[in-house]
Structure formats: C-alpha cells, structure tokens
Structure 1
C-alpha cells in the first residue's frame, strides 16, 4: 500500500493527465449522443415545418400543357390569379391542398365540349402595346354588317342609325326567331342599364327574365317562384334575385325546372331550371366578371344555345379571379374573345365607354370599357 501511494504520488500528475486524455473522446461522444443527438431529428422536422408553414400558392391555369412550352410562354398560366392557401393544422392543411389540386385538375380537364385555347403572343415577345393594339383592333371593328337592326328601346327593324347607339341587335330575317316560335330573353344587370334592352325584347313578345341579386322585388332568390305566371306570357318580365356563377361545381347535379337552391348559378343551370334550351337574346353587364363567365360558357359549350349576345367588357383591371402580368392578362382577354368567335359569335356593333384606363394605365388609343353586340351565325 505504501508503494502504491508512493507511485501514485510520484506519477500522479502524469497519470491523471493520461487518464483524462483517454476519457475525453468517449465523454464528448456520449455528450453528443445524449444531449445533441435527440435534437437533430427535431431540428430537421422544424425546418420542414417552417417550409410547410410558409405561405403556399396553387395556380389555376387555363393554358394547355403544350402552350407552356412555347417560346415566351410564362411559367404559370396567363389570366388566372394565384390562390393563397390558409394555414391550419397539418391534417387540415393537407386536405386543403388536396382540394386546391382537385380544383386545378378540374380546370385543366376543361370540363365540357369546348376548350379555351390560349393564343400566341401578338409579337415576338410579351408586349403591353402589341397586346393592347390587338384587342382594340378586334373589338372596335364589326365582323358582320347588318342591313337591318333593332336599336335600344325599339322593336321595329330599321337601317343602322347614323349615330352609334349603346348596342344593336342584328335584325336580318335569318337571325331572328320566327314569329310563331317562342322567344326567350335574359338580362343580367345590377345598375339598371338594361332598361332599353328589356323594353325591346318585351315588345318583341319574348319571355323575359331579368337577374339582379340586389333586387329586393325579385322572386326571393328562387327561380320557380315566378315562372308559372311568365312561361309563355310574352312581354312579361320576371325578375329574379339571382346572379351568374363561373365556377363549375365539383359534382354536377341535374337541375330540375324551378329548382336551383342558390342565388349564384351557371347559365347552363339557370336555363335548365327555367326549362329553356335556347336564349335568343342575352344582355350582360357583369361588372368585370365577364371574362371568367365567358370562359365558363366556352368550356361548357353554353354559347351554342345563345343567339344574340350584348355584353359590356371592362378593361380597367384584370377582373375577378384573373391575374398575371399586364401582358398575360391582355393575351388571356384576347383568347376569350377568340373563343367566342370559335363558337360562331360575330361582332356586329361596338360602343366605347368612358375613360381611358386599361389595367390601371392611362392610354390614348383605348377606352376603359366597351359594350359589344354579337350574333351567333350558326343559327
């Protein structure tokens, strides 16, 4: 024992240093495993959660896949704005993301007999001036000359007036409904600007339906409430607290006559509820929702049932659920107009509105709105 103590005393410091050197690496390894190790997976999870928790966007694109590979084509579809996801619990967020993906797939499938083809750029590269000039040239020039027309508030056909009225209906014999056949007219307006239209189609003896969600005198939001007194009763205007929807429902149900159950429905569903296969005259001032409504009509093939269309298009801003750069929006608008033409609609009259603002830019060669009159030459 005394020897051991003496040995320890003589070699104590060196021995203790050697022992410590031998213990340090295992100690550090144990410290890493016991203290740092358990946090590594959590750190990884935190990083992922932070990424998942960041605001995400789903783009609803109307552009066919083949067009996305065209030269100068944007990475996201033109003309439709990005939808922002709501951040919720993990499970709810994933379910919401799935819902957005389902909606995207629904739009990409282009439900219906028609497809909205996105047109090529007006020039070699995206240009606001080139795109605007193309649209203005298109909507300011009649595609069909009518020798006889119906002017606002008039039911007697006459030669085109010298002045430019707000709208015109082409009154060529082959374009008007026969006198012994039913005539149906719809009007969608919230500003009372359809008074002359309602007067004209009423004098023609049409079955007339006026749709205005702000109308307190309407039929309580249910189309069936006023149909019995109107069906076949020419000249009587039925007013409905109803508006146009452009979003196709996820699961379409057959709409029976007089049964809609909502104050916002697609034109196809409204026609089905009213028992109409044809709308001879349709007036629409949709306050910047017209572009998406037109797209819905193109994709569902509803336009083949419309003979005369009078509609105001607004250019001040992109419109409801329409987004992208100014050049993309202009190209989308032109694509929609081309879609109308593909279904047989020919422009017979154009009337410029007030102001010179296009996509919040002041321009000299265009107006903020145009009221356009089309006729379907396929009927």
Structure 2
C-alpha cells in the first residue's frame, strides 16, 4: 500500500522538476550573454541605422592628419627678415566651402605641374657670411647663358634669325619647339612704366599674339581705372590692351571669388590677372618692376605660377635691396641668388644677359658688377 502511494505521488514531483529546467536554462543564457564583450555580440546597429550582419568585424578609425600646431616654423624657406607673416599661409585653410575635400585626388595631381613650394634659401657661398663671396656667386650666375639658341627673336623683330653679333637688351629663343605653333593662340604680357617695352610689344604683335600691357601710371588704360572689364579687353589684330594695373606679390588673406570681368584693386598677383583674363598660359612676359621683381619672383615660385610662363624677359636691380627685403648685405645677396636658383629649379634657363648702367650694388661701388641686368629666360620644362 505504501509503495503504491509513493509511486503515484512521484509522477507529479518529477513533472514539476522538468517544467523548471527551461526557465533556468533561459536565465543562464541571458546571464552569460550580458557578460559577453560588445564586439562579440551576434549583431549590432551601424551608423546608418541598419543592422549589421552577424560576425561583422568591429574596428576604429584613427586620424593621422598632423596637428596644425605641428607645422614647421622658421625653416630655411624664408628670405632674410622678410615681412611675410606665417598666418598668410594658414589663411589658405580658412573659409573652405562646406563639403570641400582636405586632400587632393591622386588622379588630379598631374594636372598641377608645379605645386606650391617654399623658396629654398641657399647655403652661404663661403664658410661664413661674406658680401664678396655672395656677390661673386650671383654675378657669375647671371653673366653665363645656360642655353645656346641657334635662332632667336631680336627686339622689334618678329622674324627669327641667327644670333646677332651686336649687343642687344634682350633675346627670345626661337627654336621651333619653344615657340607657339602656327595659328595657335599666343598671349603676351608686359609690365613696364617707362616705355622700355616698345620693342617687346612690336615683336609679340608681329607674332600675332594677344597682347596686354600693364601700367598703373597709364591714364589711357582701359576705362581709366582698374574697375574696367578685363575680359572685354582681349587683344587681337595688332591691338595692345592697356590696363592700369601692377603686379602684387602678397597673397590675399581672404580669397574672395573673382569674376572674369573685374578685379578689386590696382595691384594683383599674376595668377589673379591671368584668371580674370581667362588665360592659362602666358607665352611671352616682359617685366621691369623697379626692384619689386625679387618678391614677385618669389611669389611665382611659391605659387607655381612659373609653369604658366614660357619666355620671360625681366630686369633685376641690385642697387638696393628691393621692396620688403631686408637684412645684412650678405643676407640680401644670398636671398637674391636663392630667388634666381628658384627660377632655375622651376625650369627657367638663361638665354641672354644684358648689363645696365651704373656700378653700385647695395649702395657700394663694385667695379666688376652693374647696378642692373636685363635677363632673358626660357622655360625648358613646359
């Protein structure tokens, strides 16, 4: 009797134990799941709100962009005590349009033949700073042509000829591969205030170039002021377009978009002038900048504008330091040489040298040097 009772009562007890097992297993599973690392969960929600697939790899994105404060300052790329401020370079990073990229696509890089670069100040010519050594180096450099041209264009002549024996103020190398193709567009700029570019204008007009002359003192310039439409003053058919404008070497702090029709002041960088006129290339450029050439050349080197110039005729002045150039005499002459070497590094080689009058260099009488030189270059890397 007792055995039968235990047998009948044991069935409900075992059934109750069986019913408790599933809840215990579920509770155990939840407890273990809460302790698992988040990266090992079966699924997670992505940044776009969609559930990622099971087993997706969790990762972090680490930025390797250098901090702005880590920019190298005080490098050898600065001229002697130049008044250029470091923040002018940093202004290039401000006012970037929303969504603009902070990098350059690799496929787009070849389109910029020469990118922005700092002017590299050369080491001293001697073991220690020496005005004599620095002057000797730069005079040696600017009195030795680097290119021998079998055919040249002489001042006032648009027909190529052999190199004449007589001394001339400038020459243009007229090798076929260095001149614009026949019937191809040709653009020429002249920056001069003393009328010394008359023969240059005659030569480039004879070549059929679109010619633009810039002179801030010229009351006959288009419209009589800078606010005139540059784009409407395209030269053609022997006409010289006059502009009351001069070259600037300072990059604007805030770059405002410029229209193709106007510019905002009487002084503009060459890059801004070319943009306003719609030119990508200047085949012939004449410049007598009255001692501003050193800073203007530095601007062209650092912005990569030199790539757009094919032939350059320019007068360099040695009688005083130049606009916004300072330092000891040794530092100034070394800076001049660094600028000329920057032209060479950009592909420009000397074709012709013509010394000017005077024997004064930085207000010192120097028998073996002249106060100015007119130098003719050709771009061999275009």
Report the 3-state secondary structure (helix = DSSP H, G, I; strand = E; otherwise coil) of the residue aligned with 2:271. helix
Match for residue 334 of structure 1?
Answer: 337
SS of 2:375's equivalent in the other structure is strand
Which residue of the partner structure matches residue 351 of structure 2?
A: 348
Q: Normalized against structure 1, the TM-score is what? A: 0.72
Distance 2:83 2:230 in 1: 40
Mind listing any 5+ residue stretches in structure 1 that lack a counterpart? Answer: 1-62, 69-76, 84-99
Q: Report the equivalent of 1:230.
A: 234
In 1, the alpha carbon distance for the partners of 2:205 and 2:309 equals: 18
Equivalent residue in structure 2 for 1:246, among 233, 249, 274: 249
Which of the residues 175, 195, 200 maps onto 1:197? 200
Write the mapping of 1:13-28 to structure 2, written as runs, cut at 5 A: none
SS at match of 2:158: coil
Looking at structure 1, the residues matched to 180 and 82 of structure 2 have their Cα atoms a distance apart, in angstroms, of 40
Distance change in 2, residues 1:327/1:104 (3 Å) = farther
Name the residue aligned to 2:302: 299
Higher helix share: 1
* Separation in structure 2 between the aligned mates of residue 221 and residue 299 of structure 1, nearest angstrom: 29
**Aligned length in residues:** 289
Question: What is the distance in 1 between the residues matched to 2:139 and 2:352?
Answer: 13
CA RMSD of aligned residues (A): 2.2
Change in Cα spacing, 1:362 to 1:266, as seen in structure 2 (3 Å) is same
Distance 2:79 2:86 in 1: 18
Task: Note the C-alpha offset of 1:350.
Answer: 0.3
1:221-256: CA deviation from partner (whole Å, max 9, x where unpaired): 33753643535x242100000000000001223322
Gap change, CA 1:327 and 1:145, over 3 Å in 2: same
Cα deviation, residue 106, structure 1: 6.2
Q: Once the two structures are superposed, what CA deviation does each residue of 1:263-285 show, in whole Å capped at 9, x if it has no partner?
A: 10000000000000000000000
Give 1:137's aligned residue.
Answer: 140
Instruction: Give the aligned partner of residue 172 of structure 1.
Output: 175
2:154 match = 151
SS for the counterpart of 1:347 is strand
TM-score (norm 2): 0.72
- Partners of 1:64 and 1:290 in 2: CA distance: 25
Distance in 1 between the 2:86 and 2:159 partners? Answer: 52
Counterparts in 2 of 1:117-136, with a 5 A limit? Answer: 117-136=120-139
Tell me the distance in 2 between the aligned counterparts of 1:226 and 1:304: 22
CA contact (8 A) 1:221 1:262 kept: no
Indicate how the Cα distance of structure 1 residues 368 and 239 shifts in structure 2: closer, same or farther if over 3 A, else same.
Answer: same
Partner deviation per Cα, 1:135-184 (whole Å, 9 max, x = no partner): 00000000000000000000000001101200000000000001121000
358, 365, 370: which one aligns with 1:367: 370
CA distance in 2, matches of 1:82, 1:184: 33
- What secondary structure does 1:166 align onto? coil
Matched, 1:322 2:325: yes
Q: Distance in 1 between matches of 2:319 and 2:86?
A: 31
Distance, in Å, in 1 between the alignment partners of 2:246 and 2:381 is 27
Q: State the 1:357 CA deviation.
A: 0.3
Distance 1:243 1:352 in 2: 25
User: Is the Cα contact below 8 Å between 2:231 and 2:278 reproduced in 1?
Assistant: no
2-structure distance, mates of 1:268, 1:121 = 32
Contact 2:231 2:276 in 1 (8 A): no
The aligned residue for residue 276 of structure 1 is: 279
Give the Cα–Cα distance (whole angstroms) in 2 for the partners of residues 208 and 65 of structure 1.
Answer: 41
Distance 2:91 2:337 in 1: 23
Check whether the contact 1:186–1:209 (CA below 8 A) recurs between aligned residues.
Answer: yes
Range with greater deviation from structure 2 (289-298 or 249-258) = 249-258
Distance in structure 1 (CA, Å) of the matches to 2:244 and 2:177: 34
Q: Is contact 1:222-1:240 (8 Å) kept? A: yes
8 Å CA contact 1:279–1:305 kept in 2: the answer is yes
| CA 1:104–1:238: 2 relative to 1, 3 Å | closer
